[in-house]
Amino acid sequence: MSDKNLPNQVSANTLRRLPYYLSYLKTLKNTDVSYISAPVIASELDLNEVQVRKDLAAISSVAGKPKKGFEIDVLINDIQAYIGCDVNNCGILVGAGHLGRALLAYSGFEAYGLNIIAAFDSNPAAVGKDIAGKSVYHTDALLDFCKKTPVTIGIITVPAEDAQEICDLLIKANVKAIWNFAPVKLCTPDGVIIQNENIAASLTIINKKLAEQF
Amino acid sequence: MSDKNLPNQVSANTLRRLPYYLSYLKTLKNTDVSYISAPVIASELDLNEVQVRKDLAAISSVAGKPKKGFEIDVLINDIQAYIGCDVNNCGILVGAGHLGRALLAYSGFEAYGLNIIAAFDSNPAAVGKDIAGKSVYHTDALLDFCKKTPVTIGIITVPAEDAQEICDLLIKANVKAIWNFAPVKLCTPDGVIIQNENIAASLTIINKKLAEQF
DNA sequence: GTTTTATCGATAAATTGATACTGATATAAT
DNA sequence: ATTATATCAGTATCAATTTATCGATAAAAC
């Protein structure tokens, strides 16, 4: 049973806020304060005080102390543990275009438990290259690669029209989760985790707000 | 007055779905069908039928026809217009690291009305380079640049600890919106639009789902 | 031309997430 | 030691979003 004393139904919104808490708490680590209260976090991060308390209660087993707040070090540890900083998932990336290369080179994912170990592309010009110390193989080699080295997370950075095909391939390769950067809904069997990253959506929101303002 | 016959309070969630509608509708353009119904879109995109209808009603002035649905071409046009594909916003990017370079090179933003015209970095090694035809200048030159060439959108891809400083600089340079890729809450005066892009959040969600499953 | 039916649009219900409120409690001040 | 107070945790309220229901209607079938 996956029974913990923490609620196992934390909303995606809460999850989204965790990295912000973490980043803020880390800025306090160098200072001399060792406790932080929910109202202070809330005002710094422009959130509601109760919301902060609920978020923290959901992911941390430690209780806050009246008049002082929460112990910063403990909070940092709990958030990191909850986020999965301690896990180590192997990932491969398919589509070594601009976006793909950037993600390959980006070093921030290790802090969130993801280790991208290789990339794949069907473009002969990309195959064989080395990006940030990671090799780019031909997509045809993907299945064999995953037989030898079990991969948990597949990252899709191919154009929208190719995304489903790559998705099918990744599922055949037995990945447990797919992180999809193409703006398309992928068809997947039950049990495979899909996380859509939607950069265009943010631009849409910006455009809308800009248009509203003027 | 910014009065249209469309509701001007479309939720962020709806906005987030629009790119998916658009991408799906475009796949139908090559086929021989010219009408699409809300139930079909819903099942393809794994959404609720009513939700699809509401989203479309919010952004399109055209009515759907019983037994047929919505005219695909009209929908595509309406979504594109709403998203702001037709606008042309000038953007600059600060922080020509891995992520920054990727965004510079990524060609998909034009389709959403954003044209990144230059990049800035304080690292001498990056200054002077050309990335995807766009020059990287020193951050010190940012203010002058924006005086000559008005910039609407500032993109922050610097490390978390430098983000606020760059944010202040961009505001001094009179940008109207800031697209922030650092996982920190930025302090800004009223009137400046902030859109946070939070790649770490997605990883958090994936990790959580993976942990739940096993 | 009439009937059947898929889909629409609108309204209502339910769910979810955010915010406000209240009593309890540990810390700090007197 | 006693009092005052900031903050916590839990409960209740409120707002927003999603989902369900229902009559109306245009297209298709007969």
Strand D proximal to A40 Cβ, under 7 A? yes
Q: How far is the CA of B68 from the C1' of C3 (A)?
A: 19
B150 and B103 belong to one structural domain:
yes
Tell me, yes or no, whether B35 lies in a domain: yes
Closest chain B C-alpha to A170 CA, distance in angstroms: 16
* Whole-number pLDDT of residue B8: 54
Q: How far is the CA of B39 from the C1' of C11 (A)?
A: 19
Strand D proximal to A59 Cβ, under 7 A? no
Structural domain range at position B130 = 89-201
- Reply yes or no on whether the pLDDT at A3 is more than 70: no
CA distance A48 to A155: 34
Average confidence (pLDDT) over B82-111 = 89
Average confidence (pLDDT) over A98-117 = 88
* Whole-number pLDDT of residue A114: 94
A95 and A63 belong to one structural domain:
no
Q: How far is the CA of A198 from the C1' of D25 (A)?
A: 37
A190 and A95 belong to one structural domain:
yes
Residue percentage of chain A with pLDDT more than 90: 67
pLDDT digits (tens, 9 = 90+) for A35-78: 999 999 999 999 999 999 999 999 998 889 999 999 999 999 99
* Whole-number pLDDT of residue B53: 96
A183 and A99 belong to one structural domain:
yes
B166 and B186 belong to one structural domain:
yes
CATH number at residue B42: 1.10.10.10
User: Of B63, B83, B103, which closes a domain?
Assistant: B83
Token digits for B65?
């026809």
Please give the tally of structural domains in chain B: 2
Is the Cβ pair A204, B16 closer than 8 Å? Answer: yes
A69 and A95 belong to one structural domain:
no
pLDDT digits (tens, 9 = 90+) for B106-128: 878 988 999 999 999 999 999 99
Instruction: Strands of B40-197 (E only): list them.
Output: 70-71, 89-94, 114-121, 130-131, 134-138, 153-156, 177-180, 193-196
* Whole-number pLDDT of residue B200: 81
Q: Which residue has the least CA–C1' distance to nucleotide D28? A: B67
CATH number at residue A162: 3.40.50.720
pLDDT digits (tens, 9 = 90+) for B20-74: 999 999 999 888 899 999 999 999 999 999 999 999 999 998 899 999 999 999 9
A164 and A187 belong to one structural domain:
yes
Tell me, yes or no, whether A94 lies in a domain: yes
Give the Cβ contact number of residue A70 at 10 Å: 24
B107 and B72 belong to one structural domain:
no
Tell me, yes or no, whether B58 lies in a domain: yes
pLDDT confidence tier of residue A198, bands split at 50, 70 and 90? confident
Strand D proximal to A50 Cβ, under 7 A? yes
Q: Where are the alpha helices (DSSP H) in chain A?
A: 12-29, 38-45, 49-59, 72-83, 98-105, 142-148, 160-172, 199-213
Closest chain A C-alpha to B61 CA, distance in angstroms: 17
- The contacts of residue A74 (CB under 8 Å, 6+ apart) are A60, A62
User: Of A56, A83, A110, which closes a domain?
Assistant: A83
* Whole-number pLDDT of residue A8: 53
User: Of A83, A107, A129, which closes a domain?
Assistant: A83
pLDDT digits (tens, 9 = 90+) for B141-198: 999 999 999 999 999 999 989 999 999 999 999 999 999 999 899 999 888 999 999 8
